[in-house]
Structure 1
Amino acid sequence: MEGGILESEEGFRKQAIMREIVTIQVGGFANFIGSHFWNFQDELLGLASDPEGDSVFKNQCLNMDVLYRTGETHQGILTYTPRLVSVDFQGSLGSVSSRGTLYNEASPSDVVTWKGSVSTQVSEPRKKNLFLQSLYEEEQENLTLVNATKDKRNDFQRESEDKDIVECLDNGVQYWTDFSKVHYHPQSLYELSGLWMDVQEFDNYGIGRDTSSGSFREGICERLRFFVGECDHVQL
């Protein structure tokens, strides 16, 4: 009897251990599917934090720390981002930076050790579509708590804007980031240097083999180590 009790307690402790998951997405198809998956997780987070939401989403068994990690920017802002490594060709992120949107790097103008002239060649950045623009505006309104801005739009304007957003998602999606509403950690988005999505497809054995060796392999493994090193009981 005592052995049975001890065995039950041990089994309970094993179930209570949180096993973190590191998600790996390789290639355009996986990233498109992953974008939908992370959007869904983001919706669950919103429903769980809604004070007026259904209690089923506040269930303690729903532990989002399995998939997400907590962090902090250089400005001391707390972050909550997917424990994810996404791999794809250069140019596959569209208007989204490979550094994400939460962490900012120092610009060349901040470097004071160089006294000579600097010539910068910069390509025209891709513009955000209506969906991403609406998400950005909504975040800015929430940060500044300007509720009056929302009230200025009537129902007809909101309906028209929603129709335009749906139309752009139906007909204007080129990149998996075009409908991604999630903030990513800088270590999550890895572009394969020298391989461009407009030149070739990421759909054959040769390219996959080349990216699994040399500098590509080390770059991917380095990002994977970053997330694995934070985990206590990792599972892939």
Structure 2
Amino acid sequence: MSSLCREVITLQLGHYSNFAGTHWWNLQDASLSYDPESPPGEIQSDVVFREGQTLGGHVTYTPRLIAMDLKGSLRTLRQEGSLYDAGKDTSAVTWDGSITMHEESPPAKNSFLEDLDKLDKGEILAEADFPSSSQPQCSAARSLSVDTVNSHLARVQKSYRLECSVKVWSDFLRIHLHPRTISVIHQYNHDGEAHRLEAFGQGESLLQGSVLEELEDRLHFFVEECDYLQGFQVLCDLADGFAGLGSKVTELLHDSYGGRGILTWGLLPVSHPDSTPVKDLYRLLNCTLGMVHMASHSSLFCPLTLRGGLGRRPSSPTMFTHLSYDPSLWYHSSSVLALALDTLTAPYRLRNNSVPMWQLADDLAVSGRKVVAAYGAVPFPMMHGSSLPDALSTYTDVLPWRPLSGCAEAGDGRCYGQWATLKGFEGQKLISSLAAGTKPPTPLHSLHSGEDVLASYIRSFYPSAPLALQLVSTPSELAPPFPQIFSQSLGAQGFLEGQPPPPGSTPRVVSSVPVMTSLQSGPALDPWLSELHRGVSAFDIRRVAPSFLSQGPEVLDYQEALEQLRLLARCYRDDSRGVMRSSSEEEDDD
């Protein structure tokens, strides 16, 4: 029951990872309470946030975060941020000659960023900008008594439509960042045709010289102010050269901070706006090499994507019954992954009964199986006013979650280990409240705790698999500018309503949602990884894509990585009885 704060440092490597990371940090920020009289929340925000002080003596609360991206990726956001701005100092200018000024208009800010500026300056936004006072408010907003930028945003729930205006992740960033957070890689461009970070070897070769020195300096800054550092959560793009950079970064963390947990999430968007056959091939190669190398240097590695697979010809994107999102919009797809990540990371961020990163990894990464697959019910389908047994008993033939790693469940009850988390059932009943003498409609309705209900339900699908689970009542709070991608069958708190809103009425605004996730290590990863191996082994890279190897890796290193992928897939292979096969048996099949 200890509330000891075990800090986590987050690294975001690449543009799509920063999209998902921005949504994730916005979710964390929306759940903060600024009221000193309110009781401590279930999630201990100090795990990922740090308290600091500006030069003017103002207390700050910023993410313990290092975010790396390319030149031109920030648009209106200054690399050093604005929170610690000491003003411009012109006293050091000594040039006496003539000066030619070239002025360039800054990018236009969208309506959300304009409102943030107004609130930062203490300006009062017009009441007409917001819905009426009858608009439902999230629970975090009700607890806020301090007048802050974020408390304003949480209370007003203005409906922003940013789908056409979001170009980069900073276009919807609602929090201030520390000056040591953003690291821009100037050797490569975010946009354009020239100087693009497209290949694994380019990213690998980046982590040296000034880039390495700057990263080590930022790491030391955040590490030294931690009292009980439990580890690092790394969000890294898999489809481009950031896969190579992430491989070197995780290797650095592994070598420099031994004994700390390293949970790496490899992110892939559903689609890219500039897809060509050659670029798609590059992305497949980056994904393959990145997974192999980052898994070897991490405590646990999990791809996160709504693609129907990691290959060049994936099936349809993952869809959810109560979501209406556009898979082609990074702003949308990354928001779904961020909601899932909020629940996936909850176990090691809890104030009480938290599970350290290394324990989570030890429970799942057994016998060298460091790659896991994620699944999620986003949102968890639960009728308003019902109970957890009621919700689960409607899914007797199939689990309510969908793939979040492009890996379908085997469906045969075999699993080496699973970690399930249900977050956001606040106000709902975890057990049935049947009248005395009433026969329970299902076995779930006869159980006496939420943990027993959820465990019994999951074990009906995985009867012999090791299972760990966590229940967190606090939901994910959806403050602006989280996109309203939810069906009108959901109420304000994300639970299913019995009736749709009347025709012509104002669309419902969902302010929080329940989510259920699962991290799994099982035989389903064998065909998934084997298919990836077959995809990259089906062609001669020296003939089809010789330029990919121009900056590394060497051909022998590339071939060794493919062999490691083959062996990794074999780690997840078993027979119909769920018993691991011997190496000699597998060699006979190869």
**TM-score grouping bracket, smaller chain normalisation:** 0.7 to 0.9
- Aligned residue in 1 for 2:51: 70
1-structure distance, mates of 2:197, 2:35:
40
The AA in structure 2 aligned to 1:229 is E
Deviation track 1:72-100 (CA, whole Å, cap 9, x = no partner) reads 11122211100000001011111000011
Correspondence 1:51-200 to 2 at 5 A: 58-107=39-88, 110-112=90-92, 114=94, 116-117=96-97, 118-141=99-122, 146=124, 150-151=126-127, 165-166=160-161, 169-199=162-192, 200=195
Query: Deviation digits for residues 26-74 of structure 1, max 9, x if unmatched?
Result: 00111011001000001001xx23589xx7xx43543211111111111
Within the alignment, does 1:24 sit opposite 2:19 as a pair? no
Alpha-carbon deviation of 1:123? 3.6
CA 30–154 in structure 1, closer or farther in 2 if over 3 Å, else same: closer
User: In the alignment, which of 21, 24, 34 is matched to residue 49 of structure 1?
Assistant: 34
| 2:226 alignment partner in structure 1 | 231
Q: 1:101 to 1:112 in 2, by over 3 A?
A: closer
Per-residue deviation, 1:202: 3.9
- Displacement of 1:233 in angstroms is 1.5
**Aligned partners of 1:28 and 1:202 also within 8 Å:** no
User: Do 1:27 and 1:88's aligned partners in 2 also have CA atoms closer than 8 Å?
Assistant: yes
Q: Cα deviation per residue 1:196-222 (whole Å; 9 max; x = unaligned)?
A: 111355453122112222221111221
> How far 1:154 moved relative to its partner?
7.8
Structure 1 pair 20–114 and aligned structure 2 pair: CA distance change class (3 A):
same
Could you tell me how far apart the structure 1 residues matched to 2:202 and 2:65 are? 22
Corresponding residue SS for 2:52: strand
How far does residue 130 in structure 1 lie from its aligned partner after superposition? 1.2
Equivalenced residues, count: 204
Shift of 1:22: 0.6
**C-alpha distance in structure 2 between counterparts of 1:178 and 1:228, whole Å:** 29
Partners of 1:32 and 1:213 lie apart in 2 by 26
Q: Is the 8 A contact 2:188 2:197 kept in 1?
A: no
Ranges in structure 1 where 5+ consecutive residues have no aligned partner: 1-11
Q: Which residue of 2 aligns with 1:205?
A: 200
Q: What amino acid sits opposite 1:173 in the alignment?
A: V
Q: Is 2:206 aligned against 1:221?
A: no
C-alpha separation in 2, matches of 1:231 and 1:31 = 23
Q: 1:116 offset after TM fit, Å?
A: 1.5
Structure 2 residue identity aligned to 1:103? Y
CA distance in 1, matches of 2:56, 2:170: 25
Q: Deviations over 1:12-32 (max 9, x none)?
A: 6xx443111110000011101
User: Deviations 1:158-213 (Å, cap 9, x if unpaired)?
Assistant: x9xx56x31xx111211011111011011001101232111355453122112222
Instruction: Note if contact 1:20-1:232 (Cα within 8 Å) is conserved in structure 2.
Output: yes
Identity %: 32
CA contact (8 A) 2:189 2:197 kept: no
Separation in structure 1 between the aligned mates of residue 78 and residue 198 of structure 2, nearest angstrom: 24
Instruction: Return the offset for 1:155.
Output: 5.4
Relative distance call for 1:205 and 1:104 in structure 2 (3 A) is: same
Give the superposed CA RMSD.
Answer: 2.8
Offset at residue 119 of structure 1 (A): 4.5
Question: Residue 173 and residue 62 in structure 1: after superposition, are their counterparts in 2 closer, same or farther (change >3 A)?
Answer: same
SS in 2 for 1:194: strand
Flag the 1:89–1:155 CA change in 2: closer, same or farther, 3 A: closer
1:185, 1:178 → 2: CA distance?
Answer: 17
Aligned to 1:3: none
Mapped to 2, the partners of 1:40 and 1:192 lie a distance apart of 27
> The residue matched to 1:178 in structure 2 has which SS?
helix
Distance 1:206 1:73 in 2: 39
Normalising by the residue count of structure 1, what TM-score does the alignment of the two structures yield? 0.75
Cα distance in 2 for partners of 1:207, 1:92 equals: 18
Q: Is the 8 A contact 2:66 2:183 kept in 1?
A: yes
Shift of 1:122: 4.9
Structure 2 gaps of 5+ residues are 136-157, 233-590
Measured after TM superposition, the shift of residue 113 of structure 1 is: 5.8
Paired residue type of 2:65: L
Change (3 A) 1:60 1:51: closer
Q: Is the 8 A contact 2:55 2:86 kept in 1?
A: no
Aligned residue for 1:171, secondary structure, equals: coil
